[in-house]
Structure 1
C-alpha cells in the first residue's frame, strides 16, 4: 500500500508540475511528509489522503489504485499530452467504472458492435462501405439520414458520454472489453455538434475495425504510419455511416448545394466535401478555399477549421448523456444507489434531486 500511494502521489504531482514544497503548502503539511509518502516510508492518514487527492484533482481511489488496475483495453485518438496526464486517465477510468456499475445495477447486459478487422483503406473501400452499411441495418436505418446518432447507438446499448475536456486537438476515445462492452467518450469542449457526431462515428469505426489492437494504456503504441492507416479507415467508415452512398448520390442529383446537403444529412460541410472528393467530383482543397473566401466576404472573418458553415445543427436537438442519466434515475428507484450518490452523478443538490423526483412521480403514468 505504501508503495502504491507513493508512486501515484509522485506521478500525479509531477503531471501538475508541482514541487514537493508546493504540494505540501497547498495541503498544509511539511515537505518532508510529502517526501516520506512518496518514498513509501510512511502512510498519510485519511484526512491527509483526502486533502492530497483534492490538491491533485483526483479521488482517494485514484491514489490507492495500482497501475495494473488501469484502463481496460483502451485505444484512443493519439495525443502527445496523454502520457504525461495521469489525471485524465484517472478521470476516464472513473467514468467507465461509473457507467458499468450503473448498467450492472439495473441489470442491463454489456454491448459491443461486431468486430470486423480492416487495417487500411487502399483496396478496401467497398468493404468499409459494407461494414458501415451492416451497422446501419443493425440500427434499423436503411439508407435514411441519421437524426441523432448519439440516441440511435445508445438505444442498442452502446455506452456514450459527452464531456468537456479542455485538451487541444482531443476529440474522443473508445474502449472495449469482453466483460464491460464498448464505451465511447466524446469531447464537447468548444466543439461543434457536427464534429462530435463525426467523432462518435469515427470511434465506432475503431471499435469495429481495430478491436484487436486496443491496449491497456492511454499512451498510443505502434508506428505513426500504422496510426495514420487506422485513422484513415475510421474516417472512411464514419463517412459511409453518416452518408450512405445510394442516398447521397440520389440527393446530389437533386441538389449540388453544400448547405442543403449538409442539412439533409445533419453533418459538417467538410464531410460533404470529403465524400465528393472521394467520388472525384471536386478538388477538396480548391472547393474549401472557395467556401472560405465566400464566408469571409459575407461575415468579415475567417471560417476556421473548428467552425461549421451555417446553419449549424441545433444543440437542443442533441441533449447530452440521456441514457446515462436514465440509468442513474433507474438505479436510484431500485435502491441501488443513494440520493446523495445520484445527486453527485447528476450534478444536482440533494434538494433539487428530490424536487425532480417528485415531479417525475406526479407525471408518471400508472
Structure 2
C-alpha cells in the first residue's frame, strides 16, 4: 500500500470514528456481548447473527485468491461465501467487513465480490466497512493495552510489535498498522517506507523468529459445500414427502449447486 492511500484511510477514520463506533456498539448489543472485549472466534459469533438477517455463511476454497468473499441475496436466503484459500487472518477480517455491508450499509443491497487487496479501501462504503471491522477485531481499550505490552516485550522494535499484535488478534498486518495509526499509537510520518511494503515471507519469518503461531498465515482450505448439499437434500426430501417439491426439481437444484461450486473452485 502506498503512503497516500494509507493517509486517506486515516483521514476517513478520524472523520467518521464516532459514527462507526455507534454501529459497533449496536452490533455488540445485537449479539449480547460487551464492546470492550475481544471476539475470540468471530465466525462462531456471527453465524446465527447473519442467519437472523437471512444469510448463510459458507467457507469454500476459491480458485481465485484475489477474492476475499462473495455476497449474494436471493429471494429467500442470502449467502456470504468466504474464501478459505486465503490465510485465516484475511478470512477473519472479511467476515467483519461483511457484517457492516449486510447490517449497516445505506441504500439497496447489491451482490458483491470483495477483493483481498489494496483496492479494498478505495470507496466510501469500503472505508466504513474496514473501519468497522478493525474496531470489532481490535477493540480500542484492549488494543492500546496490548500495544504497550508487546512494545515492551519487543524492546521498542515497532515491526516486532506489529507482528505480535497481528498474531494476538489474528488479523492482517496492514489492518494492525492502520489501527495503530487510527489510535495515535504511531503516526504515518514516523513510519518508514518498509512498513508499507512488508512482504508475506518477511512477516512469516518474523512469526517463526518470535515463536508465534504462523498457521494463521496459511489457508485453512475449509470446505462447507458437502455439509450444505446434505442440508439441501434433507430439506428437499421432506418437501417432496409433503408434496411441496418434486424429485425432478430437487435434482435440478443440486445439479446447479454443483456447477456453481465447481466454477468457484476452478474445476
| Contact 2:59–2:224 (CA under 8 A) maintained in structure 1 | no
Picking from 148, 162, 179, the partner of 2:41 is 148
**Distance (Å, rounded) in 2 between the aligned partners of 1:211 and 1:166:** 31
Does 2:194 match 1:268?
no
| Contact 1:132–1:237 (CA under 8 A) maintained in structure 2 | yes
The structural deviation recorded for 1:165 is 2.8
The structural deviation recorded for 1:169 is 2.7
Match in the other structure for 1:78: none
Picking from 116, 122, 127, the partner of 2:19 is 127
Deviation string 1:217-256 (CA, Å, 9 cap, x unpaired) is 87xxxxx9x9611211111111111111122123224332
| Contact 1:273–1:284 (CA under 8 A) maintained in structure 2 | no
Residue ranges of structure 1 left out of the alignment (5+ in a row): 1-119, 219-223, 294-301, 347-366
Residues 171, 121 of structure 1: alpha-carbon distance in 2 compared, 3 angstrom cutoff = same
Q: How many residues align?
A: 212
Specify which structure has the higher proportion of helix.
Answer: 2
| Contact 2:24–2:132 (CA under 8 A) maintained in structure 1 | yes
Match in the other structure for 1:332: 234
Match in the other structure for 1:244: 139
**Distance (Å, rounded) in 2 between the aligned partners of 1:182 and 1:327:** 16
Residues 169, 123 of structure 1: alpha-carbon distance in 2 compared, 3 angstrom cutoff = same
| Contact 1:303–1:309 (CA under 8 A) maintained in structure 2 | no
Residue ranges of structure 2 left out of the alignment (5+ in a row): 1-11, 114-118, 152-160, 208-212, 241-249, 259-267
Deviation string 1:11-57 (CA, Å, 9 cap, x unpaired) is xxxxxxxxxxxxxxxxxxxxxxxxxxxxxxxxxxxxxxxxxxxxxxx
**Distance (Å, rounded) in 2 between the aligned partners of 1:322 and 1:245:** 33
Equivalent position SS for 2:128: helix
Match in the other structure for 2:247: none
For the aligned residues, what is the CA RMSD? 4.4
Instruction: Give the TM-score taking structure 1 as reference length.
Output: 0.46
**Distance (Å, rounded) in 2 between the aligned partners of 1:292 and 1:242:** 23
Determine which structure has more spread, i.e. the larger CA radius of gyration.
Answer: 1
Instruction: Give the TM-score taking structure 2 as reference length.
Output: 0.60
The structural deviation recorded for 1:193 is 1.1
Does 2:110 match 1:215?
yes
Does 2:159 match 1:254?
no
| Contact 2:58–2:224 (CA under 8 A) maintained in structure 1 | no
The 5 A counterparts of 1:3-152 are: 123-142=15-34, 143-152=36-45
Match in the other structure for 1:161: 58
Match in the other structure for 1:303: 200
